[in-house]
Structure 1
Amino acid sequence: MNPADEILDIVDENDEVVGQAPRGEATARGLRHRCVFIEARDPAGRLFVHRRTATKLNFPSYHDMFVGGVVGTGESYDEAALREAEEELGVSGLPRPTPLFKFLYEGPGHSWWSYVYEVRCDLPVRPQVEEVAWHTFLTDAELEERLGAWTWVPDGLAAHHRLRRFRAGGGAGSPA
């Protein structure tokens, strides 16, 4: 199936389902839907970082410090988090990602409820070629050095800043 044809739940400002639409239409019309962001770390604690393929519907060829994607119609956030992490990392048998917090991302022409997770990946990764053009594992310090130098997906960057505040005890609800 073409990713643009995938059916998504369209949700309101309270994350309640108000309808369904194909992903391409939801993207084109800026309809609010659901997404998951999974921070994946290797056994050494390094973070999986990648550059998205040029064929992605949103933010093609941008860098991202999360794996993840849209939540399909009738799918739970938890189900989507495990599915997306395994698909993008190219592994099976991951532990269930740990849910951390949810926030409403709103950017120019984009709006989605975003659930942030974390998972440790002890398996060798074989990233999905349709999703990931390049990847590496970075320490937190190495990531921080690249934040101003690379072009990052804006929703992932917002989730990253919220995750840093969350881990520092400041909560995740305030804007990035």
Structure 2
Amino acid sequence: MVKIAIVNEKDEIIRYKDRGTLNDDDIYRVSALWLTNPKGEVLIARRSYNKKNDPGKWGTAVAGTVDEGEDYYENIVKETEEEIGLTGLDFEKGPYGRNAKGKQFFYQWYIAHTDKDIEDMKIDEEEVEEVRWITKEQLIKEIEKNPEEFISSMDEWRDMFM
């Protein structure tokens, strides 16, 4: 089983644990991608219904828990290729912080731009049910109208970028 980095209040690695043995006190690391296209749309992804956390809910284009031996950047590069099949993106560091709701984790956002259509992406169906491009305005409306359709922290993340 893959081990993930457990960190202290300063985001310093203190140990590694099997993903399945996390408890409420564990703080871990997550990398996430805000992906845009030339039309100014944002890619969002519906999480697989088989996922333990937020199954079937819409979230950011790519997100992943940082595994043992990885840093935030290495993780987002790996997850982007695994989840949506894109490589060679120019990742710019975005917001960094700590999630205060529910699960405890530090997050590092990355921002990238692509001209790829959804048909050009290779979606990993074990991780992602579907992806779609959406305007920022439409995303705001959908989150306000149907918040239960989105991961719990989507409203906070939306506010960072819009």
TM class by shorter-chain length?
Answer: 0.7 to 0.9
Q: Tell me, what secondary structure is at the counterpart of 1:157?
A: helix
Aligned-partner Cα distance in 2 for 1:159–1:6: 27
| Match of residue 69, structure 1, among 54, 64, 85 | 64
Aligned-partner Cα distance in 2 for 1:22–1:163: 32
CA contact (8 A) 2:90 2:113 kept: no
Deviation at 1:98, TM superposition (A): 0.8
Aligned-partner Cα distance in 2 for 1:85–1:156: 19
Q: Tell me, what secondary structure is at the counterpart of 1:126?
A: coil
CA contact (8 A) 1:94 1:121 kept: no
The superposition leaves residues 108-151 of structure 1 with CA deviations (integer Å, 9 ceiling, x where unpaired) of: 3x100000111112232222111111221011111111112332
Aligned length: 157
Q: Which residue of 1 aligns with 2:110?
A: 117
Q: Which residue of 2 aligns with 1:156?
A: 154
Q: Structure 2 stretches of 5 or more lacking a match?
A: none
Aligned-partner Cα distance in 1 for 2:133–2:122: 13
Q: Which residue of 1 aligns with 2:38?
A: 43
TM-score (norm: length of structure 1): 0.81
Aligned-partner Cα distance in 2 for 1:70–1:156: 16
Shift in alpha-carbon separation, 1:96–1:155, aligned structure 2, 3 A: same
What amino acid maps onto 2:161 in structure 1?
Answer: L
Identity, in percent, stands at 22
Q: Which residue of 1 aligns with 2:101?
A: 107
Aligned-partner Cα distance in 2 for 1:43–1:89: 18
Aligned-partner Cα distance in 2 for 1:82–1:96: 10
| Match of residue 79, structure 2, among 84, 89, 98 | 84
CA contact (8 A) 1:97 1:117 kept: yes
Shift in alpha-carbon separation, 1:57–1:152, aligned structure 2, 3 A: same
Q: Structure 1 stretches of 5 or more lacking a match?
A: 165-176
What amino acid maps onto 1:86 in structure 2?
Answer: E
TM-score (norm: length of structure 2): 0.88
Q: Tell me, what secondary structure is at the counterpart of 1:49?
A: strand
